[in-house]
Amino acid sequence: MSELHPWIEKIVFSQQDIENKISQELAPWVNETYKDSKHLVLIGLLKGSIPFLAQLIKYINIDHTLDFMIASSYEGNYNSSGSVKIIMDLNQDIKDKDVLIVEDIIDSGITLEKISNLLQTRGPKTLKILTLLDKPNHRKNKNIKPDKTGFIAPDEFLVGFGMDYKEKLRNLPYIGIFRKKFTK
Ligand code: IMP
Ligand code: MG
């Protein structure tokens, strides 16, 4: 086990917790949900979903393609700015396909609301959301609900396993609470 990073207050989900959740619950959910699918597309929201998606697809036994989007609602700090910009769009047509959005964490839900509405206009056969973490108490729009969630997150700013503070700490193999005194 690697030493705790000095910017981490406390580990919330260990590497083992995360790996077990993905291999034993989330990937099996994908395999079951899409067992009859003719064309499944997994859409990773960059950059936070990368470690999650990479770990998840090792256990997915349904043929699928991958695509990516970059949306930004955070200006590199803690708070959602409220407006979402699509910085990079998909590379493929999703019409009549089964589309699964893969996200690291849902907080206010503003990012996913914007992305779901946009993707829905393109006529996918189905559109679902899989998130590793959820902070349901922070939701601005209660209609934004993931179809499957890994963990309910504590009311803290989390980093690691894809989640960043000012673009750093995405590489940590665990998810921890960020030590705020390091922000100055
Ligand atoms: P939302 O639009 O408020 O739901 O924010 C979603 C995005 O904000 C996530 O995909 C993350 O990239 C980022 N985010 C939300 N909460 C956290 C956190 O606790 N740590 C790091 N990033 C977060
Ligand atoms: Mg994200």
Q: Which atom of ligand 1 is nearest to the CA of 84?
A: 2
* Closest atom, ligand 1, to C-alpha of 73: 2
Per-residue pLDDT tens digits for 137-157? 989 888 889 999 999 999 999
The answer, yes or no, to whether the previous bond of 47 is cis (omega within 30 of 0) is yes
Q: State the average pLDDT over residues 97-121.
A: 95
Three-class secondary structure of residue 151 per DSSP: strand
Does 169 score more than 90 pLDDT? yes
C-alpha distance from residue 112 to each of 37, 97, 162 (Å): 23, 19, 17
Residues with a beta carbon under 5 angstroms from ion ligand 2: 45, 48, 104
Cα separation, 36 vs 74, in Å, equals: 37
Cα 116 to averaged position of ligand 2 atoms, centre (Å): 14
Q: Are 57 and 66 in contact (CB under 8 A)?
A: yes
Least confident of 71-75, 115-119, 180-184: 180-184
pLDDT band at 84 (very low <50, low <70, confident <90, very high): confident
Residues near 18 by beta carbon (within 8 Å), at least 6 away in sequence: 55, 132, 150, 161, 173, 174, 175
34 within ligand 1 shell (Cβ under 6 A): no
96 noted as active-site residue: no
Q: Does 75 score more than 70 pLDDT?
A: no
